[in-house]
A and B are shown apart, each in its own frame.
Chain A
């Protein structure tokens, strides 16, 4: 196959970020790699339709997320549950606890959250995207993204604390 320097450069620039986003969504290595590859496959066929090349990164993330939703429609359709934690009762996991944790274990905890929180949280932590851009990638309103990130973080902290670790909370509220 004829080398395509532009395509190769694009892969080098974004495949790690896309893979991490995919991993956060699908929670396993093989599916994350497939999703990443599929995203670049779609780019190779349709990327030329993107008029504003400054939007390449958003386009790739949006495409990956859309592919994830299509493949996991059933999971996403039936997984939504009301969050049971109030944001003013945040379990406060200590930064040291996180730093001592294995990265895969952290992802495992993240993976226990529902998909509608995982996507926004991974973008929140990994990508320096403004909230508007995250909303565009996920195809949801800005307010929804903000609320999912807040609630997702609360759930993640709760998961990280685990049962019986709630004594370490330092809740900041009146």
Chain B
């Protein structure tokens, strides 16, 4: 080490702070052998102390501490842990999903969509709310469940065996589903809903027959009700139950 190197090192030395750094210790040891350098080190120590002392005279503005304390935001961690935030986020996502499900626009409320909906019900399978061969009991059950119960069954259907009933919903309106069995392998379904439940329709007391895939449906209106009779088969099959 020479004087220039020692000077450069000691330029950054802080008495009492950097004493344990071997780099400074070596440079200080070198300075002990060089009176001129040692004198400079002493002066440098004085300059360091003077500048430090002056900077420490700088005081923050009056009231800054109070301003910081009163301006403290409510800490997130006190009320919401990271786990709670995640739980809240998950709940919001779930809520958004439920809201989307419930608020999504429903199918257009016309007779064609209604018929398709009923055909899907029988095609995909269903569970009867009441299994009974007793027409009166079925009617009482429907009445007690706020489903249309003052329906009229066609003469052809009256010759079949009632199996039971179920209650459905179409745009918030109760729909009665009556199940009949004509003979093994042939079930017939009659759906009844208040006529006002399907505003977009052409009033027609004469049955109109449509085919939906493997199923045929006859639709007509009578006594303030809209009827849909569905059966698996060609239109002539459904015609035979009218």
* Contact between chains at A126 and B11 (CB < 8 Å): no
Interface: B206 (CB within 8 A): no
The answer for the CA separation of A24 and B60 in the assembled complex, in Å, is: 12
CB contacts (< 8 Å) of B67 on chain A: these are: 33, 37
Q: How far is the CB of B123 from chain A (nearest CB, A)?
A: 57
B43 adjacent to A95 (CB under 8 Å) = yes
The residue in B11, B18, B68 that gathers the most chain A C-beta atoms within 10 A of its C-beta is B68
Residues of A within 8 A of B (CB-CB), count: 56
Closest to A30 in B: B61
Measured between beta carbons, the chain B residues less than 8 angstroms from A58 are none
A124 engages B64 (CB within 8 Å): no
Whether, in the assembled complex, A45 has its beta carbon less than 8 Å from a beta carbon of chain B, the answer is yes
Would you call A48 and B55 a contact (CB within 8 A)? no
B210 → chain A closest CB, angstroms: 64
Query: How many B residues touch the partner, as a band?
Result: 35 or more
B37 at the A/B interface (Cβ < 8 Å)? Answer: yes
Is B49 touching A126 in the complex (CB atoms < 8 A)?
no
Q: How many A-B residue pairs have CB under 8 A?
A: 132
Q: Is the interface of A mostly helix, strand, loop or mixed?
A: helix
Q: Is the CB of B65 within 8 A of A12?
A: yes
- Selected from B2, B21, B57, the residue in CB contact (under 8 A) with A174 is B2
CB-based contact A170/B43 at 8 Å: yes
Q: Does B223 contact A (CB under 8 A)?
A: no
State whether B72 touches A1 (Cβ < 8 A).
yes
Please tell me if B127 contacts chain A, counting CB pairs below 8 Å: no
- The segment from A64-72, A77-85, A101-109 that touches chain B is A101-109
Q: Which residues of B contact A53 (CB under 8 A)?
A: none
Please tell me if A44 contacts chain B, counting CB pairs below 8 Å.
yes
Top 8 closest pairs, chain A to chain B, by CB? A95-B46, A98-B50, A103-B57, A172-B40, A19-B60, A48-B77, A95-B50, A103-B54
Q: Which residues of B contact A (CB under 8 A)?
A: 2-4, 7-8, 11-12, 14, 16-18, 21, 36-37, 40, 43, 46-61, 64-65, 67-77
Q: List 25 A-B contacts (CB under 8 A).
A: A1-B70, A4-B75, A11-B69, A24-B55, A33-B60, A33-B64, A36-B60, A41-B71, A41-B72, A45-B75, A94-B43, A98-B54, A99-B53, A104-B58, A106-B54, A106-B55, A124-B14, A125-B52, A150-B8, A153-B12, A154-B11, A172-B3, A172-B37, A173-B3, A173-B7
